[in-house]
Chains A and B, each alone.
Chain A
């Protein structure tokens, strides 16, 4: 069995009152309480102006956290493989298409259709950074963060090259929101390296464990509410541990009803 150890060289974070990993360190470390306020999505500076206008919330969210993680690791994104994972993709596009398609003679926007694919954020990122490196886009409903983490660490370990993991979720508008109530936009990006570098924040070893293991929670009640409500936020206990050197180094993250992920930091 391969020991799935990788090094975390960069982190991106965006969520309710969490403008970035860099600015949220006090909250993530527990020095400050988290107070929720709506997520602010920055314009995707990497995209050309026309694409920037067309970019939906899911693309803005994914590109913002990807950028932060890459900048922190000081790595060239043009050669970087990527794993994108999301429980829902671009909800606003899906909503608009379903509304249009419920009318008698629907006229679908080709731009909306093109950007409705689950891999729209990955496609935009690779176009923006001119990267031909491999990329995938995953979904495992509430376990999407775990799916992305397994795929990412496996690729890094077997491929021997750094990789960018982008886990993000955006809410649907009504009426789908009532059936899938994601409260806000939230995303975590991790730049993972196969070897320790001078940028490394920690070594991380991922192991599959049974669903009988208790999932780690966030000490901060508001952060823990996010963790329970948004699939991408399943990674919050990992970020809290990275922000607090003396926090528990062995975590259990949620994945599937049948399976969880043990994450050991060193």
Chain B
């Protein structure tokens, strides 16, 4: 593919708001995870909750979108001059030539979960409940388009945990086809009962802090985040470049990865092929690394079969938690920080490295030039996406 300029980006996660706060946490090898406080749930798990989401007041003109997911999106938009950068792009290209493609898995579902606790005697939901601008899977893209004054094509990709990696491909294709000149891409996913109780029912939640690549890892810690990037046909001072997107399916099982990572291998090879790069050109791999026994084992084998065991790699989910539909976007932003600051972030929370896993898994931060990063995002339904991101040239 023709490299696509990433003009700027921003994010909010349990590590804090904005790129500087995220970088500071990564440099300090600090986790944003803590024992669950959200809704005082009686679940034995840790979460990456973003502070202050409920205190966010949306502007009156956006009030109909009020739900935790869109409040989190609004928080995310406030950092790093992102709104101003989008305004410049809108003026340059025209509002109808700027698309919005975002990933989410559960959208504003918490709003509906709460509404079901307040059904009337006839079973009806509360009169002030609104479905479209909150729970519907599209709501965050409608909200962000409205908030940023964008009128181009928009949709949400909802392929579970690969969602916000795949949106980079949407933008690249629509720009390549000449339908648009720029796009806001990214992902937003917020804590809700369905994911916490749902992953708990599958016995995929760690009762301890999540420990990717640890011998005793026993599941994930769920996080929440909003991550956005502005990609443009041309950019005066891009922060980085999208060089390749690889997408595949496992075609194997709804909630268990293919044991040999067959689909993951296809996604990584696809991303490298689009970038016109060899495995040796990748300096650092940001793993999907959820810390479930099966994910890390399958991903270790899959990465090794494409890259061998030499390339430095880590999962940053020990810091952010697994932000599900936002994970691809969050980790693309972390990849750009890695490139900008020559930082290969450590995989946190490892007590005893799993001897059955063989990648060059980073247990401490490494300072080294980073020109190209591969970022993996794999999801339920066997959906796989890999991105290759590169340094400014």
Q: Verify that A and B bind, or say they do not.
A: yes
Measured CB to CB, the residues of A under 8 A from B are 1-2, 4, 85, 87-89, 94, 97-102, 105-110, 113-120, 122-124, 126-127, 129-141, 143-144, 147, 150-151, 154-155, 157-158, 174-176, 178-180, 208, 210, 255-256, 258-259
Q: Is the interface of A mostly helix, strand, loop or mixed?
A: mixed
Which one of A107, A123, A175 contacts B119 once the chains associate, using CB atoms below 8 Å?
A175
Q: Do residues A115 and B254 form an inter-chain contact, with CB atoms below 8 A?
A: yes
With A2-B176, A256-B153 given, is the CB distance from A127 to B138 under 8 Å?
no
For chain B, the count of residues having a C-beta within 8 Å of the partner chain is: 67
Which one of A117, A124, A129, A179 contacts B158 once the chains associate, using CB atoms below 8 Å?
A117
A153 to chain B, nearest CB (A): 9
Residues of B within 8 A of A147 (CB): 153-155
B17 to chain A, nearest CB (A): 27
- Give complex CA distance A174, B123 in Å: 8
Q: Do residues A97 and B194 form an inter-chain contact, with CB atoms below 8 A?
A: yes
Closest residue of chain B to A115 (Cβ to Cβ) is B254
- Give complex CA distance A101, B39 in Å: 12
Q: Do residues B138 and A98 form an inter-chain contact, with CB atoms below 8 A?
A: no
- Give complex CA distance A115, B270 in Å: 27
B324 to chain A, nearest CB (A): 10
Q: Do residues B153 and A127 form an inter-chain contact, with CB atoms below 8 A?
A: no
Q: Do residues A208 and B153 form an inter-chain contact, with CB atoms below 8 A?
A: yes
With A132-B266, A154-B173, A178-B125 given, is the CB distance from A114 to B202 under 8 Å?
yes
Residues of A within 8 A of B157 (CB): 136-138
- Give complex CA distance A94, B110 in Å: 11
Interface string of B130-165 (1 = CB under 8 A from A): 111000111101100000000111111111100000
B269 to chain A, nearest CB (A): 11
Residues of A within 8 A of B224 (CB): none
Residues of B within 8 A of A129 (CB): 251
Q: Do residues A132 and B202 form an inter-chain contact, with CB atoms below 8 A?
A: no
Tell me, yes or no, whether B234 is within 8 Å of chain A by CB. Answer: no
Residues of B within 8 A of A210 (CB): 96
Q: Which B residues between 244 and 277 are near A, CB-CB below 8 angstroms?
A: 247-255, 262-263, 266, 270
- Give complex CA distance A260, B153 in Å: 9
Q: Which B residues between 150 and 198 are near A, CB-CB below 8 angstroms?
A: 151-160, 166, 170, 173-174, 176-179, 193-194, 197-198
With A4-B177, A138-B155 given, is the CB distance from A133 to B201 under 8 Å?
no
Interface CB pairs A-B, < 8 A, 25: A1-B179, A85-B155, A87-B137, A89-B137, A94-B112, A99-B116, A102-B119, A110-B201, A114-B198, A114-B380, A117-B380, A124-B381, A130-B251, A132-B248, A132-B249, A134-B270, A135-B383, A136-B247, A137-B381, A138-B157, A141-B132, A178-B124, A210-B96, A258-B152, A259-B151
- Give complex CA distance A141, B139 in Å: 8
Tell me, yes or no, whether B51 is within 8 Å of chain A by CB. Answer: no
Closest residue of chain A to B252 (Cβ to Cβ) is A127
Which one of B115, B116, B194, B247 contacts A134 once the chains associate, using CB atoms below 8 Å?
B247
- Give complex CA distance A129, B252 in Å: 10
- Give complex CA distance A41, B23 in Å: 51
- Give complex CA distance A143, B152 in Å: 13
- Give complex CA distance A97, B177 in Å: 40
Residues of B within 8 A of A120 (CB): 254, 381
Q: Do residues B156 and A127 form an inter-chain contact, with CB atoms below 8 A?
A: no
Q: Do residues B179 and A180 form an inter-chain contact, with CB atoms below 8 A?
A: no
Which one of B116, B124, B131, B178 contacts A102 once the chains associate, using CB atoms below 8 Å?
B116
With A108-B201, A134-B247, A158-B173 given, is the CB distance from A101 to B132 under 8 Å?
no
Q: Do residues B138 and A140 form an inter-chain contact, with CB atoms below 8 A?
A: yes
Residue of A87, A100, A108 with most partner-chain B CB within 10 A: A108
- Give complex CA distance A100, B178 in Å: 47
Q: Do residues A122 and B383 form an inter-chain contact, with CB atoms below 8 A?
A: yes
Which one of B153, B166, B262 contacts A132 once the chains associate, using CB atoms below 8 Å?
B262
B57 to chain A, nearest CB (A): 24
Q: Do residues A114 and B131 form an inter-chain contact, with CB atoms below 8 A?
A: no
Q: Do residues B152 and A114 form an inter-chain contact, with CB atoms below 8 A?
A: no
Q: Do residues B132 and A131 form an inter-chain contact, with CB atoms below 8 A?
A: no
Q: Do residues B251 and A131 form an inter-chain contact, with CB atoms below 8 A?
A: yes
Residues of A within 8 A of B158 (CB): 89, 117-119, 137-139
Q: Do residues A132 and B156 form an inter-chain contact, with CB atoms below 8 A?
A: no
Residues of B within 8 A of A114 (CB): 198, 202, 254-255, 380
Q: Do residues A126 and B382 form an inter-chain contact, with CB atoms below 8 A?
A: yes
Q: Do residues B131 and A179 form an inter-chain contact, with CB atoms below 8 A?
A: yes
